[in-house]
Amino acid sequence: MLNLRKIPPEFIIGAVLATLVLLLGIYNTLQAQNITGSATYIQIQNTTTSAINNTTIINETTNIPRCIIYGLSTCPHCNALKRFFDENNITCEFRDVYSSNDYKNDFMIIIMKARLGPYVPTTIVLDTNNSVVAIVQGEISNIKFWRNLLNRTSNGTATVYVVSATKVESKWIIDTNATKIIQEAVLSSSNAGSSSNGGASNNIAPANEEELFGLMTSMFVLALVDSVNPCAISTAMIISANAIALGFSGKKKYLPLVMFVLGVYIGYFIVGYFASILAYHNIFLSIVIAFAIMLIARDIHRFRVGKITEEITCDERECLPGFLSKVPKWLFPTALLGFGAIISWSFMLCSAAPYILFVTLLSRTVTSEAVKIILIGVYCSIIVIPIILAGVASQFISKTILNIKKITAFRIIILIIISLIALSYLF
């Protein structure tokens, strides 16, 4: 029988907090959450899309898209709905309500006449004669639902739908006068937004200058924090300091360091790119926070019971990981490349993973894959600079000293700070 008295209190507290964070992430993923104030935002669960056919749906008599999305460039569910339309060859136009006063005013007219709240995405569906047939609030990835709306012909009124990820929660009909006013507002701003033919790789309207400045500022701050990574720096110093003893002399003495740093860069880049895809889901962020909480609990417990040594000193090959110390010289650079890529994930834990927070911000601000790749590449370049400098400096140090207590204390502090910041994105 489990005796709770034998479980360290920090583990119990950590488990409770981690569970609460996971439940919060699940709740926010499954339920719509409205954030009012300076921005209008809605969170609805993303679902997998599936195309029924490859017919591109556009108006036969005009170039006006059949679906007009009013949303925010930072709203993941607006972005997901736009991608869903592209994947299913439904032409649409995206209008960021904070990128233009006209879009903002039109959006306010639409929600007022349709008796809706200020939630996005709100999508206007037009028939082939540019008449409004439906207004859909929320993200729904159900192609049959959208095909049904696109096959309708206007009778003067429009049906309003409030949807969740997979079903219609409520609907009602607005009269002819309200429908006409909405139609005039929508068509008056036609073709001014970001539009695309189904399947094209067009991007949603870019974030405004303030949002981009905020993202760039966050990127440099988080990258600088991430670059002060005691685990990565100490490992690079060990490898570089022992290069000569391992048989690398002259200019080649920097080869082990270069290969290791390149491996770390590749590992960070791959993790960051895939994390930026998963970060659309709040459950992903909640898992990261929950894991960080358990790491904090573990480190606090190790401090309390005295399981952390003050420092470790080592010379030459005894400093290296077991398998690396046995690798022959000719294979050593390649082994370091793979070692750097694989161990990079543990370095993220050591520096409290501000990287994950950055890619979460990135995924909610930027929709262009090319821009994402560039920014992730820049971030990774920043974090490896101190690793390179420390590695070069270690060439002039005969013995490497690692202060494990300071490294662990640093990790606990940064983990707590980053976890609190990341937690704010779940509310």
Compute the distance between CA of residue 244 and CA of residue 158 in angstroms, rounded to an integer: 77
pLDDT tens for 142-187 read 888 888 888 888 888 898 888 766 677 778 888 888 888 888 888 8
**What is residue 155's three-state secondary structure?**
coil
Give 42's strand partners. Answer: 34
pLDDT on residue 134: 92
Compute the distance between CA of residue 351 and CA of residue 411 in angstroms, rounded to an integer: 6
Instruction: Determine if the peptide bond prior to 121 is cis (ω within 30°).
Output: yes
Q: What separation in angstroms does the CA of 418 have from each of 34, 125, 287?
A: 24, 42, 14
pLDDT on residue 381: 92
Q: Residue 39 phi/psi, 5° resolution? A: -140, 155
Contact predicate 235/263, CB 8 Å: no
Both tokens assigned to 212:
């981009």
pLDDT on residue 204: 35
Q: What separation in angstroms does the CA of 268 have from each of 220, 236, 284, 343, 387?
A: 16, 15, 17, 10, 13
Give 129's strand partners. Answer: none
pLDDT on residue 135: 92
Q: Residue 76 phi/psi, 5° resolution? A: -65, -30
Domain ranges of the chain: 42-196, 209-426
Instruction: Enter the CATH code of domain 42-196.
Output: 3.40.30.10
pLDDT on residue 7: 63
Give 405's strand partners. Answer: none
Compute the distance between CA of residue 152 and CA of residue 175 in angstroms, rounded to an integer: 17
pLDDT tens for 361-420 read 777 666 567 888 899 999 999 988 988 888 888 777 655 555 666 666 766 776 677 677
Q: Which residues of the chain have pLDDT under 50?
A: 1-4, 31-62, 191-208, 312, 316-318
Provide the CB-side half-sphere exposure for 52 (13 A, CA): 13
Compute the distance between CA of residue 365 and CA of residue 361 in angstroms, rounded to an integer: 6
